[in-house]
Amino acid sequence: MPELEDAVCPICLLEEETPSHLLVYCPFAWNIWMASYKWLGISTVLPKEGINHFLQHTFFCWSRNQRRGAWVVWIAVIWSIWSHRNAIIFKEGDIDIDKVIDDLQFKSWIWLRGKFKDFGCSLYEWQTHPSIYLSLL
């Protein structure tokens, strides 16, 4: 049976490391989500359930491609938080919100370019005006 200290979130050291805590409600993850929403130009709150958190990323999109684009961004945020958590644990990395934001912006840009042939914006354009390019999907 794992020790209690092994179950504590390695980032905040405040609560048990559950998927919902680590990826959404940990103060570190919460700050990542808020910075991501600000970057996307979205004002929202985080729902309590993980599935609702995922589904809320389709509410501001109307077309099928816009929903798919929003899901790509959602997955990039989740992946970047998870990767940063692993770097903290296994590589003794430091907590760095800016690094995670840079990572999720780059990953989402690369993945969107791979998924949508007409997604022709530069990384700079994506980083500075993501809502414009999501609306064009």
Task: Express each pLDDT in 45-101 by its tens digit.
Answer: 777 777 777 777 766 667 888 888 888 999 999 999 999 999 988 988 888 999 999
- 38-72 CB burial, b ≥16 within 10 A, e <16: ebbeeeeeeeeeeeebbebbeebbeeebbbebbbb
pLDDT at position 119 over 70:
yes
Q: Check if the beta carbon of residue 53 is closer than 8 Å to that of residue 46.
A: yes
- Alpha-carbon distance of 33 to 66, in angstroms, equals 19
pLDDT at position 2 over 60:
no
